[in-house]
Amino acid sequence: MFIRKSIIAATGLFLCLFLVVHLSANCILILPEETARTLYNSYSTTLRESPLIKIIAYVLYLSIMLHIIYALLITRSNKKAKPRGYHVNRTKDNSSWISQNMGFLGITILLFLIVHLTNFWARIKLGIGENVGLDNNGHKDVYEVTYALFQNVYVVLFYTVLMVPLGMHLNHGLKSALMTLGFYHKKGLRLLAKLSLIYASIIAIGFGVIPLIVFFK
């Protein structure tokens, strides 16, 4: 059981790190059109062709799968430990809503992830769906895929709104993961709580506004 929980925490932390890199790269998208197109496409091509990134990508896929599988397994065994709830339960008086609903928040992220991967990863990496064109440098025009997608209001809303549960999941997840892995420094934990909130806000707001900026470009 503890090994499962440690895997959820370790893979969660790795995913947290991935999100920082991912968000930094996505910031290119808000630059002026031509610069953004050249930069984003050449960045994306470099990544796709690097053998090191290939390995990291596989670690990433594995992390996502392990995180989800073990989260679901642990949620199931936790339900078994508490088969019956209370008639009246004032959890709000003793804990945050977020911490009580990590599984639900995770499922909404999973929903986002499925749509997100179909929109980009499947088209660009697997070649499933509409063909991706080339830019003037002969690079796959990933910028165009993004730009075209974010012309649709509903898509933009989906991408923006679902960053809220992501931010919530990360706010609790970051602190919880470090405690699961044995970080118990008292003052450090107080700082960690603040850092988790800052980190989660940057990720959620960052990923959330980029589609809006692209839409209004």
Partner 1 sequence: MKATFKIWRQEGGDAEGQFRLYDVDGLTEDMSFLEALDHLNEQLVQRNENVIAFEYDCREGICGQCGVFINGRAHGPNDAMTTCQVHMRSFKDGELIVVEPWRAAAFPIIKDLVVDRSALDRIIEHGGYISAKTGTAPEANAILIAKDKADKAMDAAACIGCGACVASCKNASAALFTSAKINHLNNLPQGKQEASKRVLEMTRQMELEGFGSCTFTGACEVECPEGISIINIAEMNASRIKAKWLE
Rounded to 10°, the helix 163-180/102-119 angle is: 120
If the CB atoms of residues 9 and 145 are measured against ligand HEM, the closer one turns out to be 9
Q: Draw the binding track, 131-150, toward ligand HEM (x: CB under 6 A; -: no contact).
A: --------------------
Interacting residue with ligand HEM among 29, 37, 67, 199 (CB under 6 A): 67
Burial group, residue 21, by CB count within 10 angstroms (0-12, 13-18, 19+): exposed
Task: Give Rg (Cα) of the chain.
Answer: 19
How far apart are the C-alpha atoms of 102 and 168, rounded to whole Å? 9
Residues that bind partner 1 (CB under 8 A): 1-2, 4-6, 74, 77-78, 80-91, 93-96, 99-100, 102, 172, 175-176, 178-184, 186, 189
How far apart are the C-alpha atoms of 116 and 123, rounded to whole Å? 11
Out of ligand HEM, partner 1, none, what residue 109 binds, judged by CB under 5 to 8 A for its kind, is ligand HEM
Contact by Cβ (8 Å): 29, 36: yes
Q: What region does 182 belong to: left with phi over 0, alpha with psi -120 to 50, or beta?
A: left
- Window 87 to 126, contacts with ligand HEM (CB under 6 A): 102-103, 106-107, 109-110, 113
Interacting residue with ligand HEM among 60, 68, 132, 197 (CB under 6 A): 68
If the CB atoms of residues 56 and 197 are measured against partner 1, the closer one turns out to be 197
Out of partner 1, ligand HEM, none, what residue 84 binds, judged by CB under 5 to 8 A for its kind, is partner 1
- Window 8 to 27, contacts with ligand HEM (CB under 6 A): 8-9, 12-13, 15-16, 19
Out of partner 1, ligand HEM, none, what residue 12 binds, judged by CB under 5 to 8 A for its kind, is ligand HEM
Select from 3-11, 30-38, 43-51, 142-150 the region that touches ligand HEM (CB under 6 A). Answer: 3-11
Interacting residue with ligand HEM among 28, 36, 71, 168 (CB under 6 A): 71
How far apart are the C-alpha atoms of 132 and 77, rounded to whole Å? 44
DSSP 140: B
Contact by Cβ (8 Å): 183, 193: no
